[in-house]
Amino acid sequence: MHIRSLLFAFLLILFTFSISLGFGKDMQGCGNDCKSCHRISKEETIKILKSLDPSVEVESVDFSKLKGLYEVVVKKDGKANILYLDFGKSHIVLGRIIDIVNKKDVTRESMEEHNKIDVSKISVKNALVMGNKQGKKKIYIFSDPECPFCTKLHDEVKLLLNEEPDLKVYIILFGLPMHKDAGWKTQSIVCESKKDMDKAIKMLEDSYHKNDVPRIECGKVNYAAENKKLADSLGIGATPTIVFSNGKVVMGAVSKDEIKKNIK
């Protein structure tokens, strides 16, 4: 019994000594706080990325929500994007980070935050209007009359308007190059909106559902071109794109509940 006690005491001293060697005051190690031993400046990030693409602009760099990576916001051709740089500063990771537990696209949320638009720059003179014309809540939808995803979003917006009586929806139409008839359809629908908004909305819905749309001319103004120029100036090149009153941008055919979370 006495020998076993001595052996236990010896092992305890040895183990304690080993720990002190591994985590003494001169030993640099990282605990749960990555910020305590990993850091990178914006200038250092610029130097790394410029070696790969001299035209890229670095907006910001911070710790990502996934340990081991920095989140880098870069800008090219006026549009913000996100990439990831490892703590070793030797690997770039492209793609999305998905939070499995909370079922969230972490990258998308960050991108939406950094791609906000100044809504005061959105001209609505050629926009279609749905919902409450005097509504205080507003959203702006950039759409293409031949875009199938725009059709899905439109159906969701119609459902949402039944739940949100104070919502005013601006629809700004322009044609994507891949849709050969979208240009003249945009022109016809906007022309009609100058006389009869309800009829113009009906024409848009006919186009969404692949029904015939009449060709209408209304002078020398090219509304399709003007709306395309507006979209380009805001960095919007895909449809559907929703801009909320706080400038947040959401792309794609999202659900009415997703829209409702963002309207104010």
Which domains does the chain carry?
A: 36-114 (3.10.450), 119-262 (3.40.30.10)
Tell me what pLDDT residue 230 has: 96
Tell me what pLDDT residue 71 has: 94
d(CA 170, CA 168): 7
Nearest to 42 by CA among 7, 75, 12: 75
Q: Are strands 79-86 and 128-131 parallel, antiparallel or unpaired?
A: unpaired
- Full pLDDT tens readout for the chain, 264 residues: 454 454 444 434 433 433 333 333 333 445 555 666 788 999 999 999 988 888 889 989 999 988 899 999 998 766 778 999 999 999 999 989 999 999 889 988 888 888 889 999 999 999 999 999 999 999 999 999 999 999 999 999 999 999 999 999 999 999 998 899 999 999 999 999 999 999 999 999 999 999 999 999 888 899 999 999 999 999 898 999 999 999 999 989 999 999 999 997
CA distances from 170 to 18, 76, 96, 115 (A): 69, 28, 30, 20
Place of tokens 């794609």: 252
Q: In sequence order, which residues have a C-beta less than 8 Å from that of residue 199 and are 6 or more positions away? A: 192
Q: In sequence order, which residues have a C-beta less than 8 Å from that of residue 89 and are 6 or more positions away? A: 40, 44, 48
Q: How is residue 139 written in tokens?
A: 């959203």
Q: In sequence order, which residues have a C-beta less than 8 Å from that of residue 145 and are 6 or more positions away? A: 173, 175, 179, 182, 185, 186, 189, 204, 207, 208, 213
Q: Is the dihedral of CA 149, 152, 158, 160 positive or negative?
A: negative
Tell me what pLDDT residue 91 has: 93
Tell me what pLDDT residue 161 has: 97
d(CA 2, CA 15): 20
Tell me what pLDDT residue 188 has: 97
Q: How is residue 79 written in tokens?
A: 């549009």
Tell me what pLDDT residue 33 has: 59
